Amino acid sequence: MFGIGKYQYRTDKTYMVFTFESKGPHGVIQKIARFTKIGNNVYNFGFGDFDLITGNISDTVTSNNGDIEIIMGTLGSIVYDFTTLFMDALIIVQGTNTARTRLYQMNINKHWARINSLYDVSGLRNGKWEPFLKIVNYEMIAGKRKSTNDVTKES
Amino acid sequence: MPSKGKKVFNTTGKKNMITVDPSLPAFENEPFFLKKAEKVKTILKTVGLPKMIGDKK
């Protein structure tokens, strides 16, 4: 999706969990994302590093594996696939801190034309939701697939 | 991450979409994800949902 690089990923049989491997100078790092249902058709999108030895998941470590563009492309593709299966899902995204949320937003900005054609996107600012604007920093971002989208055109 | 199960390709239209790994756990009660979700739920209780979710119903 969006014509950018991405890692191959896999999902569990509930389609709520997605994993892939980040590959770079610091080796192979297992990444895991999960859509956790928090309301009627509302899902929180969580993402972190999965430690295969301890079983712990963390989003506070900065892995610096030199592949952030590919990771972001992969996450975008995961959200796209999930919302193709669950068209009415509202996806909530919030980073573990302001910088992480900003990182997500920067990638939305970068691919805004494509994202805006597929999703209705809102940002939370000062306790209020508003239509997403590229120039504004948000505390939280929410997106929902536009109902008119023809998924079979995606490749 | 174990990957012993048979991988299955599901398709929507013409596009190979998702590789399903039946051996992958659902991480339903994983504290990391539960904590994140609870944090967001708490905020949403205060600010509500964006209007878009109501517009499509």
d(CA A140, CA A11): 25
Give this prediction's pTM.
Answer: 0.85
The token pair that represents B9 in the structure block: 């390709």
Q: Using the predicted structure, report yes or no on whether residue B31 has a pLDDT greater than 50.
A: yes
**A127–B7: do the CB atoms touch at under 8 Å?**
no
Decide if A141 contacts A123 (C-beta within 8 A): yes
- pLDDT category at A61 given cuts 50, 70, 90 is confident
pLDDT tens by residue, A85-98: 999 999 999 988 88
ipTM: 0.85
Enumerate the H helices of chain A as residue ranges. 68-85, 98-110, 112-118
The token pair that represents A6 in the structure block: 């991405």
**B12–A10: do the CB atoms touch at under 8 Å?**
no
- pLDDT category at A152 given cuts 50, 70, 90 is very low
Pairing of strands A119-125, A128-131: antiparallel
Query: Which chain B residues are Cβ-neighbours of A59 within 8 angstroms?
Result: 32
**B12–A151: do the CB atoms touch at under 8 Å?**
yes
Nearest CA in chain A to B38: A38
Decide if A142 contacts A124 (C-beta within 8 A): yes
Q: Tell me, what amino acid is at B53? A: I
**B40–A92: do the CB atoms touch at under 8 Å?**
yes
Nearest CA in chain B to A33: B33
